[in-house]
Amino acid sequence: MNNILLPALIFLPIVTGFLCWLMEKVDERFPRWVAFFGMLATFLVTVGLWHTGDFIGSAANIPAFGKTPTWLSEFQLPWVETLGISFHLALDGLSLLMVSLTAFLGMMAVACSWNEIGHRVGFFHLNLLWSLGGVIGVFLAIDMFLFFFFWEMMLIPIYFLIAIWGHNSGGKTKEYAATKFFIYTQASGLVMLIGILILVIVHQVQTGQISFNYMDLLGTDLGKWQYPVMLMFFIGFAVKLPIFPLHGWLPDAHAQAPTAGSVDLAGILIKTAAYGLLRFVLPIFPAASHEFAPIAIMLGGIGIFYGAWLAFMQTDIKRLLAYTSISHMGFVVLALYSGMLMSLQGLMIQMLAHGLSSAALFIMSGQLYERLHTRDMSLMGGMWGQMRYYPPLLMFFSAALMGIPGTGNFVGEFLILMGAFQTNPVAVILATFSLVWAGLYALIMIYQTLFGETSETISKVAPMKNMTAREAMILLTLVFGLLWLGLYPQSFLDTSDHSMRWISDAYQQVTPKLIEPEALQAPISDEPFAHLEAK
């Protein structure tokens, strides 16, 4: 039965974005409110779908691994029937959490740019909301052509966000950063498109029917083509994640993007790549993925240390945060290619927590830039007594980025390392040492901005304007989300459990399946996480 709420999740941001563009001609204040309520409506729809889904204890009723996943709801309409293309959307626990994160951070992106954007306000919100609509489409589409359509659709609005409303810094222009982002992502998208077409053609040769349907393509025997086609998909997703050495676009894009663009990039956009690897690469190419796993884990490990080291060397606060994303995505790769249920569940928590914490820190860097007109931490210092609420919030989100217990980042990293240790103990031990670097770059960011003698830059604007109620509410909402993930992750683990079990089984069907602890054979809601629940 078609669930009309699924296309509504995509078209709500698109329609409200178009309304923002029209309302600018009436009053420049209207687009902000239209955009915010449009994303609020989208978020409420996801909450409604989450409330109606039966997630608690559902793992106990999951049958043995089947060829296709089980969806909570679907929507399908014929599109180009001759080519086997349909407007096919589907929702499970994995995509539900990703869509919820997108809608939630979409509201935060609109709210944080309330006063930052002063020209072409309607067109700005059109691009912001259309990029979010494209991201939601990526999380819901299970027709490969439709998936690729949304994958490309979300890139063009982000290009305009950077090129029109971005900043020039470090001797590089916003147009340069936008063009670099576009070339990287378009080139990788073309590689993935070739992989999709080969997959569809091989399926047609085997069955006599042409189809872009994910459910049909899952059973395709690619033979000698499996490894090269898997690599094409991997490259398409690895650039967007990004994985070393395909990360070159990210630091410049973050440094030149407006605050809302950085929230979109770090909090949402790079999660589409992790989702693509989970949804498509592991289940469709399990044998090739298993063969490629040592290389992927090696690249992820290099990325963990490389990103942490370069973050440690930065003076621009946004470039520092950009390199931390590269480091954290290395943990995502480690979790993905371990294939264990515990690590995949940790991956889900890590994606949610990283989305919230990185978005919060980019928002705070934007708040600093509005007051100081610089992002150079060497020009800051002595800000502890200048803004009443800013220092403790910056320390909290920096601690979350380090993975301090009590935050969702800790739960995610802990589960990833525990799960991956069963298959890759050496990689896990090495990755654990990178947490020292995480502490160093977080402490350096705190020290250079908050402590020491009051800098000349801050003296010129002293007394600094305190945080507004809007700015404080944005950050307190993100604090609540991180504490919820850290103290009671069970609601999220239950939601994604069914999906992650299926993906783990799909990946391990060609590997010698490890005997997991007794607790992992039972619903994941039992003993291992009891100490993480709120008292």
DSSP 54-106: --TTGGGGPPSP-SS---SEEEEEEEEGGGTEEEEEEE-HHHHHHHHHHHHHH
User: What would the mean pLDDT of 116-128 be, rounded to a whole number?
Assistant: 89
**Residue 481 pLDDT exceeds 80:** yes
Please count the CA atoms within 13 angstroms of the CA of 510 that sit on its side-chain side: 14
List pLDDT tens digits, range 140-156: 999 999 999 999 999 99
List pLDDT tens digits, range 423-455: 889 988 988 888 888 888 888 888 888 876 666
pLDDT for res 58: 45
**Residue 523 pLDDT exceeds 70:** no
**Residue 280 pLDDT exceeds 50:** yes
Which CA distances in Å does 532 have to 259, 351, 486, 523, 527? 33, 18, 7, 16, 10
Lowest mean pLDDT among 62-76, 91-105, 488-502: 62-76
pLDDT for res 67: 65
Give pTM, 2 decimals: 0.89
Which CA distances in Å does 102 have to 178, 249, 277? 22, 22, 18
**Residue 5 pLDDT exceeds 60:** yes
User: What would the mean pLDDT of 325-332 be, rounded to a whole number?
Assistant: 90
Work out the pLDDT band at 531, boundaries 50, 70, 90.
Answer: very low
pLDDT for res 408: 92
**Which of 35-44, 315-324, 495-504 holds the top average pLDDT?**
35-44
Work out the pLDDT band at 514, boundaries 50, 70, 90.
Answer: very low
Q: What percent of the chain has pLDDT over 90?
A: 49
**Residue 308 pLDDT exceeds 80:** yes
Helix axes 490-508, 286-313, angle to 10 degrees: 130
* Degrees to nearest 5, angle at CA 244 with 243 and 249: 80
Rounded CA gap, 292 and 230, in Å?
9
Rounded CA gap, 206 and 71, in Å?
26
Work out the pLDDT band at 201, boundaries 50, 70, 90.
Answer: very high
Q: Structurally, how many domains does the chain consist of?
A: 1
- Provide the residue range defining the domain that includes 64: 5-532
**Residue 470 pLDDT exceeds 50:** yes
DSSP for 107-125 reads: HHHHHHTTTT--SSHHHHH
Token pair belonging to 118: 């002063």
Cβ within 8 Å of residue 353, ≥6 positions away: 400, 407, 408, 409, 411, 412, 482, 485, 486
Average pLDDT of the chain, as a whole number = 86
User: What would the mean pLDDT of 361-371 be, rounded to a whole number?
Assistant: 88
pLDDT for res 511: 52
**Residue 59 pLDDT exceeds 60:** no
Work out the pLDDT band at 52, boundaries 50, 70, 90.
Answer: confident
**Residue 458 pLDDT exceeds 70:** no
pLDDT for res 183: 93
Q: What percent of the chain has pLDDT over 70?
A: 89
Measured between its terminal Cα atoms, the distance across the chain in Å is: 40
Work out the pLDDT band at 192, boundaries 50, 70, 90.
Answer: very high
**Residue 517 pLDDT exceeds 50:** no
